[in-house]
Amino acid sequence: MSPGAASPIGLPLDRVDGPHKVSGSATYAAEFQPKDTCRALIVQSRIAAGRIARIDTRAAETMPGVLRVLTHLNVERLPQQGRAAVKPPAGREMSLLQDDAVRYNGEPIAVVVADTLEHAQEAASHIEVAYERGPAALDFEAARGGAYPPRKTVRGPPDTTWGEGASALDSAPVRIAATYTTPYEHHNPMEPHATVARWEGDRLTLWDSTQYVSGVRDTVAKTLGIPTGNVRVISPFVGGGFGCKGSTWSHVMLAAMAAKAVGRPVKLALERPQMFGPVGGRPRTEQRIELGASRDGRLIAVCHDVISHTSSFEDFVEVATSPTRALYAYPNGSVTQRLVKLNLGTPTFMRAPGESTGTFAIECAMDELAERLSIDPLELRLRNHAEREPDTGRPWSSKRLRECYRQASRRFGWERRDAKPRSMHEGPWQVGWGMATATYPAHRQPAQASASLARDGTAVVRCGTQEIGTGTYTVMTQVAADALAIPVDLVRFELGDTRWPRAPISAGSMTVASVAPAVRAACTRLRDALAKQDRRWLDAADDAGRRSAWRALAASQPTATEAHGESHPDASEDEQPFAARSFGAVFAEVRVDPELGIVRVPRVVGAYSVGRVLNAKTAANQLQGGIVWGIGMALMEESLLDPSSGRYVNGNLAEYHVPVNADVGEIDAWMVDEDDTRFNPLGARGIGEIGITGVAAAIANAVWHATGRRIRDLPITLDKLL
């Protein structure tokens, strides 16, 4: 940045897309309405396993407004039975009507296309299906016996040991062992999935609610067997994703197939109940943890054995052992991941996959160990602070967890905690204080961006990334303005289009770490190129001077100057000489009604070590949102599976509980000062997921402190405390 110009990086800039969102002019996928668009509706199976013996669509086809009913009997045959792009865990096994098999209750088995949604719905109810039922595995407990190791996980092989492994437990003077369980959950972003598909000759345009426009393009092109260049995916706004919009699920392809079949653009928007099954969810987990320590609280060994569920046709691993491998300085350890196959839709990444479920288990276990040792839970963590990554011995790129513990415990008032359970009260309420460590790995992938100066003085910066509500438009505007040394309002950042330079999936909390360096590279090139022409804007004394010099420069250009930039990590994550991870310390207060079992969370305090913060407002917003979700995970969130049919019975937002305002007390969350330039040139590690981690454990630990009861099975509903 030029002398005198204050960098906009780090400032709590309001969302640049805020006015669009509140005025309704932000266009979400289902709001695109190409000419002649008709509606498609997915018909779902009503059994969990077997085959379609007969499907009668004759009545439906003759109903008013109906254009076509697609079933396995008449749908286009896709290359490799629709499996050409299958590459778990990114390329999912879809249900594309290529055969008569039924693998879970709620699997797409037909698509009705009609002029209106109401006509499609009415026709759908006149489709008659006769099934031949097969045996269905729906009982997690019963399936445990058949648990098997997956071939791999996103964190490497399913089993890892270091030091002496589990055998080191034998020599530990103090040991605790416990089993923790977490339920089926579903993402439920405010905006359900939606796709609008339009064919023009052999070229396909998709308006899709997705966390990964390039991923959708590649998957759809490959599955259809057409050139990638023939598919364009557009996604300017996404009403939340949290992982469920990271993969290309069946409905996207079915929309494209339906549009082709009827020769008209087709809109396919999932209904809320359809969010429970065909588009992933958080797997159920059962986690056994054993910790061994010396009497003065030095950890000697950890064992963490996880069983999670997957579908009958694809392996998805909830790597709940991941945080355990990173959290403490245990010289010995052994972690295992196992899967059980159930006749359910394939689960997927859900905000802080692995880390949210895993931190619940390991951070509750640490609390149980602290209790056994009569050591303060915070002190136990400090004694075992990991100066290096425990399982690999690599140093951290940067880690300020000690500072998080210090700041958050002080703000919370932790030193006033009476260690004894049931010792604190407020009127009739039992009060409990609990804490946990939060953590989430830092990821980064290659990304590209372009920047150009338009004649009206707007710097147009483009990148095929996504805005999933995290603030990408705003933060990238700040990064661009900083590199170009111009005020932020002169930047227009465009995203969500496969015509723009390629960017990675908006997931894994890596958008800032991946995209910001590319944006900066493109803008730096543009600045350098422009400076050669006329560098007066760089030397201007104030914003007004910069603005007018920049405008003059823009107007004097014969053609728009354009620059490209790209950025990538120096090595793959495993080959980096350092380990990169974010950490945090979260403290929770609960009040428990001792008679009725009601739990309230009046306050949560968290401090986070997440690298450099590019926008203080959107960053804090991510942390707060994560903490709110953590409260829900702790106390209420659960998809209830009907044991005989394999349907989730509470598939709507009235009976699937997430926190409402009244459930959320005071949230005090902030980022400690840090700059992790070892990880990437901007020094940022990403912030989207860490907020949820540790919260459920902190609350469960607080519930123990309030009541003396360890609830190891989420959610902590009041019946478990009666």
Partner 1 sequence: MQPFAYLRADRIEDAIAASGPDARFLAGGTNLVDLMKSEVERPLRIVDISRLPLDRITETREGGVRIGALVPNADCANHPLVRERHPLLSRALLSGASPQLRNMATTGGNLLQRTRCYYFMDAAFDACNKRRPGSGCAAREGRNRIHAILGASEQCIATHPSDMAVALAALEAVVEVHGPRGARRMPMEDFHRLPGATPQRDTTLEPAELVVAVEIPPGSFARASTYLKVRDRASYAFALVSVAAALDLRDGRVHEARIALGGVAHKPWRAREAEALLRGATPGEAAFDAAARASVAGARPYRDNAFKVTLAQRTVARALRVAAGIA
Query: Which amino acids are annotated catalytic?
Result: 689
Pick the binder of partner 1 from 262, 275, 636, 703 (CB under 8 A): 636
Nearer to partner 1, 188 or 324 (CB): 188
Nearer to partner 1, 393 or 643 (CB): 643
Backbone angles phi, psi at 715, to 5 degrees: -80, 160
Nearer to partner 1, 493 or 648 (CB): 648
C-alpha distances (whole Å) from 141 to each of 281, 639, 700, 714 are 19, 16, 23, 16
User: Applying CB under 8 A, which part among 354-362, 378-386, 483-491, 643-651 lies near partner 1?
Assistant: 643-651
602 binds partner 1 (CB under 8 A): no
Residues pairing with 459 in the sheet: 453, 491
Least separation, in Å, of the C-beta of 664 and partner 1?
Answer: 9
Backbone angles phi, psi at 354, to 5 degrees: 80, -50
Least separation, in Å, of the C-beta of 429 and partner 1?
Answer: 13
C-alpha distances (whole Å) from 14 to each of 240, 458, 473, 612 are 19, 19, 11, 18
Residues in 252-281 at the binding interface with partner 1, rule: CB under 8 A = 273
Residues in 692-721 at the binding interface with partner 1, rule: CB under 8 A = 717-719
Nearer to partner 1, 30 or 461 (CB): 30
User: Applying CB under 8 A, which part among 170-178, 406-414, 619-627, 644-652 lies near partner 1?
Assistant: 644-652
Radius of gyration of the chain (CA): 26
345 binds partner 1 (CB under 8 A): no
Backbone dihedral region of 496: left (phi > 0), alpha (psi from -120 to 50 degrees) or beta? left
645 binds partner 1 (CB under 8 A): yes
Q: In this structure, how many other beta carbons lie within 10 angstroms of the beta carbon of residue 133? A: 12
Return the structure tokens found at 18.
């805020």
**Distance from C-alpha of 214 to C-alpha of 219, rounded to nearest angstrom:** 8
Nearer to partner 1, 115 or 663 (CB): 663
Site string for partner 1, 580-599 (x = CB under 8 A): ---------------xxxx-
118 binds partner 1 (CB under 8 A): yes
CB-neighbour burial class of residue 716 (10 A; exposed 0-12, middle 13-18, buried 19+): buried
Pick the binder of partner 1 from 74, 125, 533, 556 (CB under 8 A): 125
Return the structure tokens found at 442.
């830092």
Backbone dihedral region of 110: left (phi > 0), alpha (psi from -120 to 50 degrees) or beta? beta
Order of strands, edge to edge, in the sheet holding 50-56? 101-102, 50-56, 128-133
Side chain identity at 469, as an amino acid letter? Answer: G
Least separation, in Å, of the C-beta of 414 and partner 1?
Answer: 25
**Distance from C-alpha of 281 to C-alpha of 348, rounded to nearest angstrom:** 5
Nearer to partner 1, 149 or 273 (CB): 273
642 binds partner 1 (CB under 8 A): yes
Pick the binder of partner 1 from 388, 394, 568, 600 (CB under 8 A): 600
Site string for partner 1, 651-690 (x = CB under 8 A): xx-xx-x-xxxxx---------------------------
Order of strands, edge to edge, in the sheet holding 38-44? 66-70, 108-114, 38-44, 266-269, 194-200, 203-208, 231-234
Pick the binder of partner 1 from 2, 27, 37, 121 (CB under 8 A): 121
Count of positions on this chain that bind partner 1 (CB under 8 A): 38
User: Interface with partner 1 by CB under 8 A: which residues?
Assistant: 44, 46, 118, 121-122, 125, 273, 428, 595-598, 600, 635-636, 640-645, 647, 649-652, 654-655, 657, 659-663, 717-719, 722
